[in-house]
A and B are shown apart, each in its own frame.
Chain A
Amino acid sequence: MATESRTPSAAPDAGRELIRFDGVTKRFGDHTVLDGLDFTVAPGKHVTLIGPSGSGKTTILRLLMTLLRPDEGTIKVAGDYLTHEERNGRLVPAGEKHTREVRKHIGMVFQQFNLFPNMRVLRNVMEAPVHVLGLGKDAARERARELLDLVGLGDRCDAYPTQLSGGQQQRVAIARALAMRPQVLLLDEVTSALDPELVAGVLDVLRDIAHTTDITMLCVTHEMSFARDISDDVLMFDAGRVIESGPPEKIFTEPEHERTREFLSAVL
């Protein structure tokens, strides 16, 4: 369950949370993007973040991926602090090694795919399992082929990314993220850079993954019908805060907050 609890210590399902933000603030210069944000995500849940651009949704994903550091507050993943570690009972900024360990639970798919153009498709997917998890080449190759089959690209293993369409590249990127067997998959506007006719293929793959695996998903998207399909919870963001949250049926059909109504009428 995603909650908007302002008193984290009193959260009722503290044992059932995979991600926890406590008072997270992120500023860019004078602009406060996230303002003391608290929220939790339970394992296996699919949570979609919606809201106007600039409301801090992508910042949340980037904080979780440690592409950004919070200015204040803490983030926990699977019970471990992500950017801090406990030393002599005190919280101190985490070293690179600690962060790397916690981060292994998380995978991310980017708006711009970000495949490695110097590697063939198969190697893109094998690279991290071999060099980060220490998986043997044969096992990694087998895993990569299975995942590329899953995203419908089993026959393009030897292609270079530039030889693929945007939709195909994004599906490879999904396979690459899944190859690390993350507990959490972050999806950052994964269809925004795609030509309209390629969007469906990518969303079908993600739907399939959402419905057949127990992976936790955190998703920033403007595809509202997709959000409605896969989400257990929808979080409505505005000005760095969660102003409303709940199951998609509720948020999309009878939103309570005026800002949510405005936003939905603009995008639906």
Chain B
Amino acid sequence: MSWDWEAARAFWPELLHGLGVTLEATALGALLAFAVGLVWALAYRSPTRWVRWPVTAVVEFIRNTPLLVQLFFFFYVLPTWDIKFSALTTGVITLGLHYSTYTAEVYRAGIDGVPVGQWEAATALSLSRARTWTAVILPQAIRRVVPALGNYVIAMLKDTPILAIIGVLDMLQNARLEGARTFQYVEPFTMVGIAFIVIAYPASLLMRALERRLGH
């Protein structure tokens, strides 16, 4: 077994194309996870248990079932209910929803970490509930948890290859197709691995530095 530079060069455009898809899935999935996770986190603190309990049940259910099962569920079951998305959209929704259950916990920790004096000052100034959340609590809560959120984005990036299973043309799927076409598997898969480490490792160093700067 030897390394064939010619095969590596032939795969390069496909790799870049797949990388674009991988990054797109990660970015959109992260946005969804950030937004939906925030909804969960706020619902956890709802004064009515008719909001708290169902949300807790749903979140625990999603968190404690495998991502792959959820992916298959959305990919195969939803179309039978006449809900049809592209493979990429299905993948983004699954990833985003799955990771929203983790970001919800991160937000919760951040919100709990805001000193009670901040709530009291907001009350003393008669700020509305909405204003207290958006102007006082969330900016402080989110600032604290940026590194933790970032780490989940990195984890999500490394989970995107799972989307290859439903046919999303990400880096892994392109490598697989390339191998099937040329019978040369070493170069494509190695390059995919390297691409992941080239992105993920600096990103995780960045998060660690950010954590230090925020004084954790």
**Interface, chain A (partner B; CB < 8 A):** 65-67, 100, 103-104, 106-108, 110, 112, 114-119, 127-128, 131-132, 176-177, 180
Q: A67-B123, A118-B139 are in contact. Are A131 and B128 (CB under 8 A)?
A: yes
A103–B124 Cα gap in the complex (Å)? Answer: 8
Most chain A CB atoms below 10 A, which of B118, B125, B128, B140: B125
The 7 lowest CB-CB distance pairs between A and B, nearest first, are A128-B125, A114-B121, A114-B117, A108-B124, A118-B139, A132-B126, A131-B131
Closest to B122 in A: A116
Asked if B136 is at the interface (CB within 8 A of a chain A CB), the reply is: yes
- Using a Cβ cutoff of 8 Å, how many contacts connect chains A and B? 59
Cβ contact of B143, chosen from A100, A110, A118, cutoff 8 A:
A118
Show the binding face of B for A, using Cβ within 8 Å. Answer: 115, 117-118, 120-121, 123-128, 131, 135-136, 139-140, 143
Closest B-chain residue to A103, C-beta based?
Answer: B126
Q: Is the CB of B127 within 8 A of A110?
A: no
Residues from chain A with a CB closer than 8 A to the CB of B117 are 110, 112, 114
How many whole Å from A114's CB to the nearest CB in chain B? Answer: 4
Contact A128 B126 (CB under 8 A): yes
B183 nearest CB across to chain A (Å)? 58
With the chains together, A115 CA to B115 CA distance in Å?
A: 11
What separation, in Å, do the CA atoms of A115 and B140 have in the docked complex?
12
Q: A180 and B121 in contact (CB under 8 A), knowing A118-B140, A118-B143?
A: no
Can you add 13 more A-B contacts, CB < 8 Å, to A104-B126, A107-B124, A180-B126?
A65-B123, A66-B123, A67-B120, A100-B128, A107-B125, A110-B117, A112-B117, A114-B118, A116-B135, A118-B139, A127-B135, A128-B125, A131-B127
- CB–CB B140/A117 < 8 A: yes
Can you list 5 A-B contacts (CB < 8 A)? A106-B124, A116-B140, A118-B140, A127-B135, A128-B125
Contact A116 B121 (CB under 8 A): yes
Given A118-B136, A118-B140, decide whether A127 and B127 contact each other with a Cβ distance below 8 A: yes
Among B118, B126, B139, B140, the one with the most A-chain Cβ atoms within 10 Å of its Cβ is B126
Contact A116 B123 (CB under 8 A): no
Q: How far is the CA of A116 from the CA of B136 in the complex (A)?
A: 7
Across the interface, which residues of A come within 8 angstroms of B115, CB to CB?
112, 114
- B125 CB contact (under 8 Å) in A66, A67, A118, A127: A127
| Least Cβ–Cβ distance between B135 and chain A, in angstroms | 7
Is the Cβ of B120 less than 8 Å from the Cβ of A176? no
* In the bound complex, CA of A66 to CA of B143 (Å): 29
Give Cα A225 to B139, complex, Å. 40
Residues of chain A within 8 A of B124, CB atoms compared: 65, 67, 106-108, 110, 177
CA–CA, A106 and B126, complex, Å: 9
Nearest CB in chain B: distance from A162 CB, A: 11
Whether A114 and B135, one on each chain, are in contact in the complex, defined by CB atoms closer than 8 angstroms, is no
Q: Is the CB of B120 within 8 A of A110?
A: yes
With A114-B118, A114-B120 as contacts: A176 and B136 at CB distance below 8 Å: no
Chain B residues within an 8 Å CB radius of A132: 125-128, 131
Question: Known contacts A114-B117, A116-B118; is A180 also within 8 Å of B140 by CB?
Answer: no
Looking at the assembled complex, report how far the CB atom of A175 sits from the nearest CB atom of chain B, in whole angstroms. 12
